Amino acid sequence: MRPTSALGRLFAAGFAAVKAVRPDRPIHPQGVLLSGALEVAGGPASGIALLDSPGITPVTARLSRSAGFPPGWPDVIGLALRLDTDDGAADLLLASTGWRVPGRFALTMHRTAGAARLTSLMPYRGSNGPVLLGARTAGTDPGAPGRFRPDARWDLELLWAAPRGSWQRCGTLRLAPVLDAGGRVQDTPLRFDPLLNVLPGAGTYAWTRALREHSYRLARR
């Protein structure tokens, strides 16, 4: 068995243990449903078609806290994006990490989304080589699940980088909460799966699939 596959099975075992306690959402239990758009302006070519072609793509998103600690406590921030592309739904998962090398490969904890730098943690396979994706708040901090304002507008820069390279800006994410009939911020049962819903023009590496596929298979049950 390859080391990455063995590690992936280990992650899945831990995921299964948490799922026994939290059967619905073992991780990222509390979230906020958002909608908006990705505006790609173009720039240095990443090798991923979606990021290299100027245009506007509708987005449904979920902002969440990984461990589900009480509001106000630091937690790993997650941002799941579903892009409505010409090729169908494409999912992108970002988590709070460091921004420079080597910190961009390690998860970090924050009290609010605006304080976090978000990355894909593992690279995609672009036509020019491996590509990390990243996002950071470009305007007002919107808060976090449990303290997200109904009138919040969350603007983020979307960037890409080679694993050890500098970040290159490629677009802007503009998001706002989807409110319920009472005007309150709400969560969503929507599930995001980047292994099933792949970004147009982006491939994956065998080792990244091996690390994630067992846990994602469990999450689909």
pLDDT given at position 79: 97
Domains of the chain with bracketed CATH? 3-219 (2.40.180.10)
**23 burial via Cβ count (<10 Å: 0-12, 13-18, 19+):** exposed
**Cα 11 to chain center, whole Å?**
18
Q: How confident is the model over 125-133, as a mean pLDDT?
A: 95
Name the more confident of 79 and 212. 79
How many helices (DSSP H) and strands (DSSP E) are in the chain? Answer: 3, 9
pLDDT in tens, 154-194: 999 999 999 999 999 999 999 999 999 999 999 999 999 99
148 backbone dihedrals φ, ψ, rounded to 5°: -90, 125
pLDDT in tens, 83-119: 999 889 999 999 999 999 999 999 999 999 999 999 9
End-to-end Cα separation, the chain, in angstroms: 25
Tell me the average pLDDT of the chain: 87
